[in-house]
Amino acid sequence: MITRMKISAAQRTSKPSRITNGLEITDHYFQIPLDHNAPNNEKIDVFAREVARYDAGPKLPWMIFFQGGPGGESPRISSSAGWCGEILKTHRLLLLDQRGTGLSSQVMPQTLARRGNPSQQAEYLTHFRADSIVRDAESIRKSLIGDEKWTGIGQSYGGFCLFSYLSFHPEGLSGVIITGGVACIKQHIKDNYRLTYKKVIDKNHLYFSRYPEDSKTIKEIVTHIQNNEIFLPSGVRLTDRRFQQLGMFFGASGGLETMHFLIEKAFITGTNGRELSEYFLAEVEQASCFENNPIFTIMHESIYAEGYATQWAAESLRTEFPQFNVNAESFYFTGEMVSPLMLEDHKSLKPLKEVAEILAQKSDWPPLYNLSQLAKNTVPISAISYYDDMYVPIEWSEQTAQHVGNFRIWVTNEWEHNGIGVDGPKIISRLLNQLNEPAPYGYRG
């Protein structure tokens, strides 16, 4: 049994509101314990931006947004366009920079270096998972609105955070909206990656069936990278494995086209003959860069871990899928599979290799979910999942939906994982309406 922890209101400092393009925007800074189990010890800063329509008035209900990632900051918006605009028709929106991101005690190699040796840095990072993030949110809720509840909305990993919220602090939530992040709450990390590897293989098949001419060019690119010292604009050598990570494109709507348009500009004729163009190398670096988000690389697998060591699960499973051997006859791109080799391929991340290894071998991760609490959940949940999602497989989404109480799930192949960025108003409007519909899954009361 998991005991709910008492949460006190965070100490808050707010800047004067400003009006931008019809929006009233207020910046809030909170002092919150690094370790919620030791509330009198070290504090960290957590930032959140409140956004409302200028003419909304003070009585609108609140909604808090959890960004994907892990390690991604909340969106910076300056207009009422897109999915945010749909929410602002009926809610006051709080855009949370999850701890370690944006303006919230940012985790970067420079800041981690101040923590001491690798063991001390790793210990610090253990407090940057969903279990801590949702306690931050509860502390912020009490500071901003007291006993009033709010609706949570989460994109991708943000949805994972909301399942932790529902597990440990459902009393703070009046409803939950999840866009492409229905977590695999019952599966071991290796089960998840075995399935996502298969999803990525399917995406490669689709890509090469649509653009068969790219196969030859891609093999030429890989051979050129392997046989020459190719440097990215930052001065870091481009490896075949880093190039392979561009398969991240495949998880987004239009991602196959993004890849094709990049590949068709790969080569140029220079003084030494046919070579990779500087344009291509700059685009590759930007698309495969994790310098601005070390949390993603060194803590990505920990978002699945409960009481076991992840031990670089995705990398350990690669041998089960020979399609991803960089020297295979056909070159296949990977997806959201982190690897210790990524610490070699990014200059500023190299000092974090030992920290990442400590976290990968950590076996005493605390729980992220309370399955018993989720089974009897009464907070209305409205979610969208995508049939073709290569990041959050539909198989696990449906399994979770059948376990969690008061759950409404809309499953479609109209969009990919980034659906709200493509057709946000349509998706958000339907999910808001679903919150009031009878739940087909889970607890009936």
As a whole number of angstroms, the distance between CA 400 and CA 186 comes to 8
CA atoms within 13 A on the CB side of 363: 0
pLDDT reported for residue 135: 98
List the chain residues with pLDDT less than 50.
1, 443-445
pLDDT reported for residue 441: 57
Tokens 């990390």 sit at which residue? Answer: 189
pLDDT reported for residue 312: 98
pLDDT reported for residue 376: 97
Sorted by where each starts, the structural domains of the chain and their CATH numbers stand as: 11-185+369-434 (3.40.50.1820), 189-361 (no CATH)
Task: Return the closest-CA partner of residue 435 out of 366, 383, 363, 380.
Answer: 380
> pTM value?
0.95
Q: How many residues are present in the chain? A: 445
pLDDT reported for residue 444: 34
pLDDT reported for residue 292: 86
* Residues acting as catalytic residues: 156, 364, 417
